[in-house]
Amino acid sequence: MAYITCRDLVLGYDGMAVAENIGFQVNEGEYWYIVGENGAGKSTLMKTLLGLTPLMGGSITFGDGLERYEVGYLPQQTFVQRDFPASVWEIVLSGTLSSIGKRPFFNKEQKLLAEKNMRRMDIWDLRKQCYRMLSGGQQQRVLLARALCASSKLLVLDEPVTGLDPKVTMEFYQLIRDLNKEGLTIIMVSHDIQAAVSYASHILHVERERSFTGTTAEYRRSDFWRALGGDGV
């Protein structure tokens, strides 16, 4: 059974649909890019998958041992979030909150997990620094470490390279690809079509009344890709 199965989704907010007839299936180890124009419903889809926005129609099923609360999430950053007055350690450790239960304190296991993921993201030396004093790339590594504390199975990223310079963007893409090669399933919302066809195993291209779902190779042969000037290879 797939990690996530979506059938005939109707997405929207405030009672207004923004995308319809969306169906796809995410399996363990896959790397999905969700692309489309502004307002097509990409971020709404992410929030609906996470239970943050009500589903207006269709069904979403979690399986293969994955529960919705086990999904790691790296949302779009706002100015307020970038200016958050907390230490790197506090932010990363908060990623373990879903496993804390009724205990009032973090235990040794959760602290070790936070340390492991901070070292994994090469930010252990920054643990005592204030988050808002970091560069954009460092902040994204902090949030990624936090998301990894929440899940070792599936990671959802919503426009994670927005505001980053080209060099840091490429480093971040490589970091996500390496995580996927280690076995982490990835779903990324992005405007970067070239990155999608370079890194993804599967692509969901969302439009209001239709969508494409399939492998990257199939996408390169689709009308969606040709409409963007793709070569059809």
For residue 215, give the CATH number of its domain. Answer: 3.40.50.300
Are residue 58 and residue 104 in the same domain, yes or no? no
Is 74 within the bounds of a domain? no
Is 72 within the bounds of a domain? no
* pLDDT value at residue 229: 73
Cβ-count burial 96-124 (b if 16+ within 10 Å, e if not)? beebeeeeeebeeebeebbbebbebbebb
- In the beta sheet, which residues pair with residue 154? 71, 185
Computed from CA positions of residues 205, 206, 207, 212, in that sequence, does the dihedral angle turn out positive or negative? positive
Cα gap 223→194, rounded to integer Å = 16
Mean pLDDT along residues 75-91: 76
Is 197 within the bounds of a domain? yes
Q: Please tell me the pTM assigned to this model.
A: 0.90
Domain boundary among 152, 176, 206: 152
Is 127 within the bounds of a domain? yes
Are residue 145 and residue 90 in the same domain, yes or no? yes
Cα gap 81→209, rounded to integer Å = 33
Domain ranges, residue 1: 1-66+153-233
Mean pLDDT along residues 80-103: 77
Is 73 within the bounds of a domain? no
Residue with tokens 């205990």: 103
Q: Model confidence over 130-160: pLDDT tens digits?
A: 998 999 899 999 999 999 999 989 999 999 9
Mean pLDDT for all residues in the chain: 89
Element (H, E) at 115: helix 108-120
Is 177 within the bounds of a domain? yes
Domain boundary among 96, 131, 152: 152
Is 5 within the bounds of a domain? yes
Are residue 51 and residue 114 in the same domain, yes or no? no
Are residue 176 and residue 207 in the same domain, yes or no? yes
Cα gap 86→97, rounded to integer Å = 16
Are residue 170 and residue 233 in the same domain, yes or no? yes
Is 96 within the bounds of a domain? yes
* Residue 103 clears pLDDT 70, i.e. is over it: no
Domains: count for the chain:
2
